């Protein structure tokens, strides 16, 4: 899944939670799985590249995805 679509999916789930709606555990588990896969892909790409521009972009995306994974863990604990 593309980074932008993953971010949109995450924002949609967080938005539903903020509205007071319950998040289905299966959807949250699926999101966490996708985030974990994205982290491993970004880490592998980061290890393989030497271009500083690409490294900065990957590091930023990796921080975003890590933060989303942490937040989704808090959401699963809240529900």
Q: Enumerate the domain spans of the chain.
A: 25-78
pLDDT at residue 11 in the model: 94
Tens digits of residue pLDDT in 12-46: 999 988 898 888 899 999 999 999 999 999 999 99
Please determine, for residue 9, whether its predicted confidence score (pLDDT) is greater than 80.
yes
Neighbours of 46 (CB within 10 A): 15
pLDDT of residue 53: 95
The CA–CA distances, whole Å, from 20 to 13, 16, 78 equal 11, 7, 12
DSSP 79: -
Task: Supply the pLDDT for residue 45.
Answer: 96
- Considering all CA atoms of the chain, what is the largest pairwise distance in Å, rounded to the nearest integer? 45
pLDDT tier, 79 (very low <50, low <70, confident <90, very high otherwise):
low
């Amino acid at each position: 899944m593309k980074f932008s679509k993953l971010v949109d999916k995450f924002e949609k789930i967080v938005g539903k939670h903020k509205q007071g709606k319950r998040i289905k555990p299966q959807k949250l588990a699926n999101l966490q799985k996708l985030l974990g896969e994205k982290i491993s892909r970004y880490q592998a790409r980061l290890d393989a590249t030497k271009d500083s521009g690409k490294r900065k972009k990957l590091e930023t995306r990796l921080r975003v995805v890590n933060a989303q994974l942490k937040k989704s863990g808090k959401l699963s604990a809240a529900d």
